[in-house]
Homo-oligomer: A and B are copies of this chain.
Amino acid sequence: MSLRHAVLGVLSAQPMTGYDLLEVFDRSSGYVWAAGQPQIYPELKKMAGEGLLTSKVLHTGRRARRLYAVSAKGRDEFERWVGDEPEYGPERDRDSVRLRAMYLDIVDTSRARKFFEGYAAYYEDRLSQWRQRLENIVNGRSPLIKARLASRAADEHNAIVAYKRFALEGQIGRAELEIEWARNGMKLVTQLEASRRGKRKSVPA
């Protein structure tokens, strides 16, 4: 149930519409929480209903848009959540990639190699996204970080940037590790191919 906290985190920098939030939660944004459109709109409505958000309709040129902002209650709830001990749910102990990797012996080596290539490609993509986001945060070019810093005291700026940077460095480190794992996986496939060939040669001789 972190979607609402992710929403509170983003909106605490700046009021936004559902459409704006969709962009932030898009997988390619480099943010650490992904969510689709059929999740965002109902959640915003629900949160407004619970008093965590306030909203008003804007009529600026284009079609009417609803702008959401964090209420005092929302700020409290977010602070409570960040400070609370996280519970480590079972979803952290579920990894379909590692699960698959355990059984690659039952498919041929070309499939196994493709599997690792795809995994590396996936994390290379994440890596570039996260690196870009990190850069935009440390050099203050991201509109969101700009708005956030503007709303906070100058002596807090250091910590605000430091934690965001640190979280993204964690993502980057993980991505690098997974890419390395995948590369080692490709090497393993090659080794297994060689040892199999070796055996086949020696048996018929």
- Which residues in A have some Cβ–Cβ distance to B below 8 Å? 2, 5-6, 9, 12, 27, 32-36, 78-79, 81-83, 85-86, 88, 90-108, 111, 114-115, 118-119, 122, 126, 155-156, 158-160, 162-164, 166-167, 169-171, 173-174, 177-178, 181, 184-185, 188, 192, 195-196, 199
A173 CB contacts on chain B under 8 angstroms = 177, 181
Report Cα–Cα, A35/B96, bound state, in Å.
13
Copies of this chain, tallied across the complex: 2
Instruction: Name which residue of chain B comes closest to A166, CB basis.
Output: B188
A175 to chain B, nearest CB (A): 11
Report B-chain residues with C-beta under 8 Å of the C-beta of A99: 2, 5-6, 9, 32-33, 167
Can you list 28 contacts pairing A with B, beta carbon distance less than 8 Å? A2-B99, A9-B99, A27-B93, A32-B94, A32-B98, A33-B95, A33-B96, A78-B103, A81-B100, A82-B107, A85-B114, A85-B115, A85-B118, A86-B100, A86-B118, A86-B119, A98-B167, A99-B167, A102-B163, A105-B159, A105-B160, A105-B163, A158-B192, A158-B195, A170-B181, A173-B177, A173-B181, A177-B177
